[in-house]
Chains A and B, each alone.
Chain A
Amino acid sequence: MSKVKNIFLQLVLYFIILSSAFIELSCSGHSSNKILINFWSMGAEAEHVQKLTKEFEKLNPNIEVKVQAMPWTAAHEKLITAYASETTPDIVQMGNTWIPEFVALNSLDSLNSFIDNSKVVQSQNYFPGIWKTNFIGKKLYGIPWYVDTRVLFYRSDILKKVGYPEPPKNWNELYDASKKIRKLYGSEQKYAFFIPTNEWAPFIIFGMQAGADLLKDDNSYGNFSDSKFETAFEYLMKFYKEKLAPIDWMQVSNVFQAFASGFFAMYITGPWNVAEFKNRLPKNLQNDWMTAPLPAYDDQKYPGLSLAGGSSLSMFKSCKHKNAAWKLIEFLSEKENQIEFYHLSTDLPAVIDAWQDSTLKNDKYLKAFYEQLQNVIPMPKVPEWEQIVSAKVQQYAEYGARGKVSPEKALKMLDQDVDKILEKRRWILNKEKKQI
């Protein structure tokens, strides 16, 4: 019997060692006495910021910064999952449209007390439209790290060919130029304007340009079937219907190749593509593409509104070493480091002074962004926004583009779904009202 016991005990021991080894491996215990700051960043930014955090560690030998990369496409999902599984980091690069969501989940720390005493971070250093995105009420939840907005990328050679030496300045010109480009190709399967329905930004941008309020009643109901949004939506649908824009975005498995081959001549996208286009487009094409601020609803308003996007640095409530974390945020907000980060990543600095840097100033593709950034506005600050745009706006944009339902019907259905998504929000608002 004792023999069996021995074997059994050995087995049990083996299991315990094995499992504790697994758990230890996965937690990878932190042994030194240094303060550890976990910093989650996205895609290439994570790679580049490590050079800056190394400098930071040199200046602050008692702090260690661990940078972890999240892929851009999955970043939102990952952050929410981290919240759900209580594995949030200390500092995070937060898409600034997501801030309301994480504030509603009560997981971000307000930074007001920090900036009140900060010499580095001051509101007047930032683009106003961008700065605003970080506020919920009077509380500040993020410091702009780099900025991002959408502008028009276009093939100047093709536009010139159809009589547009200057990029389109308003909706009519955009449509007219597209028609002329389409005419150029005849029966060839090429298009003018690339509006993939898996990117919600253009739909929201054109809606806001037309003056639409996207949500109504204290942001608790959808307002997409309102006539203003409908105008914008129908305007965009025209491009699909008249074959000025490809309906099937999957066909463009490689945006750069498609842009280079003239599969489309215009595309509304963000600053990350400046570096990509420079690297990936063939050399002989480098003088034939350009960026421009967005066309406006009508001439007076040029440049038209665009999204106040970009990433902010936010602090999770779970952060144990808030002062050390703030030190890092401040460090990354210093003008010199903003410039250096631009050189590393080509992400556009959030601090306006950093735009004085010569490489930035001399980059002809970035001028459009600087102009555009003067005219950006935040989106509705509801926690459900990401779900509304990336699940529902995209879905119904596709329905409309493919002609599955009429634009009018698509927007009605969109509002229904949005109302459903906001149901819990209304319930919580009510509950809170009753408590007060």
Chain B
Amino acid sequence: MREKNKFKLSAAYFFLAPALITIFIFFLLPVIAALLMSFTDFDIYSLGNIGYAQFVGLKNYIDIFNDPLFWTSLKNTFYFVIVGGPLSILVSLAAALLINSKLIQFKSFFRIVYFIPVVTTLVAVSVLWRFIYHPKFGILNYLLGFIGIHGIDWLGNPQFAMPAIILMAVWKNFGYNMIIFIAGLQNIPEDLYEAASLEGASAWNQFKNITLPMLAPTTLFVGIITMIGYFQLFAEPYIMTQGGPLNSTLSIVLYMYQEGFRWWNMGYSAALAFILFFIILIVSLIQLKIQKESYI
């Protein structure tokens, strides 16, 4: 063991202080305050006169569980996460395998091109896709027309609105996970494949028995960050559909935003935020557990 204590401890605290203090004041305190707030009926009246706020116990949570809009938003969010998440990851993995293939040149060119949607501003992309999805004048329906699909009202039909948002999200995000998968693929020792080839294993078998298991930790990581990100769906419906049609794209965060910062029902909104937090926590734990059990 190297003797590190001879570095002055006070220096360590000095270096840590700015980060820890800002995290404490501007992150941890608000989290605690939000928890407290979720047990009150803090609203627009209370902003002007704190006497109009009162402690209401679990009322907000009970109201939320009786609120059909909450269940709609929960359902929509899960739809987005459960369909969009795996779909994104699959496309990312496929793209990573393609680019990583030994037969391919210009790898870095394709990597950059696939990555461009990732870096571009989500709001601008949502604005752009709103026009792309236009049922009459949008280029998507025009192109689909060539293969005999006509007149899908992407954002206007409650059945297609969420798939449309998922499609855009996959297009926008697959590049990010693709990079992580490429890194994961490059970390798989080459001799594993050589040995398998010698034994005459087919490409599919190699993929199934070497690539997939070796990628498991990467997939776990990718799965968790993708899911956490997807649970926070907001800008896409905010820009493209305002949560409609028929609330079919109302996400939890959008609902929280509307309740909190549009109608200033801050207690209710804080409770929604905490429910989102607990859902993310639980789903992350489940994911960790499942993957641990199946691979290790």
Contacts and interface: CB of A to CB of B under 8 A. Distances in A.
B157 A248 contact: yes
B156 A428 contact: no
A398 B246 contact: yes
A253 interface: yes
Nearest to B67: A420
A104 interface: yes
B134 interface: yes
B44 A105 contact: yes
Interface stretch (A77-85, A167-175, A202-210, A266-274): A77-85
Interface stretch (B108-116, B171-179, B208-216, B256-264): B256-264
Given A83-B47, A105-B45, A250-B156, A77 B262 contact: yes
Given A248-B153, A424-B43, A106 B48 contact: yes
B52 to A, nearest CB: 7
Contacts of B271: none
Given A251-B153, A387-B263, A402-B246, A428 B135 contact: no
A399 interface: yes
Contacts of A402: 158, 245-246
Contacts of B153: 248, 250-251
A219 interface: no
A404 B63 CA distance: 23
Interface of B is mostly: loop
B136 interface: yes
Contact of B52 (A249, A251, A404, A428): A428
Interface string B195-224: 000000000000000000000000000000
B45 A104 contact: yes
Nearest to A246: B156
Contact of B48 (A105, A251, A391, A420): A105
Nearest to A425: B45
Contact of B45 (A248, A398, A424): A424
A428 B45 contact: yes
Find the residue from A84, A250, A402, A424 having the highest chain B CB count within 10 A.
Answer: A250
Contacts of A53: none
A263 to B, nearest CB: 10
Contacts of B244: 198, 250, 398
Of A83, A249, A251, A399, chain B has the most CB atoms within 10 Å of the CB of: A251
Nearest to A263: B136
A39 B84 CA distance: 46
7 interchain residue pairs of minimum CB distance: A248-B156, A250-B156, A387-B263, A84-B47, A105-B48, A251-B156, A77-B262
Interface of A: 77, 80-81, 83-84, 104-107, 198, 248-251, 253, 387, 391, 395, 398-399, 402, 404, 413, 420, 424, 428
Given A105-B47, A250-B156, A253-B131, 17 more contacts: A80-B262, A84-B264, A107-B48, A198-B242, A248-B156, A248-B245, A249-B156, A251-B153, A253-B137, A395-B247, A398-B246, A399-B246, A402-B246, A424-B43, A424-B45, A424-B52, A428-B52
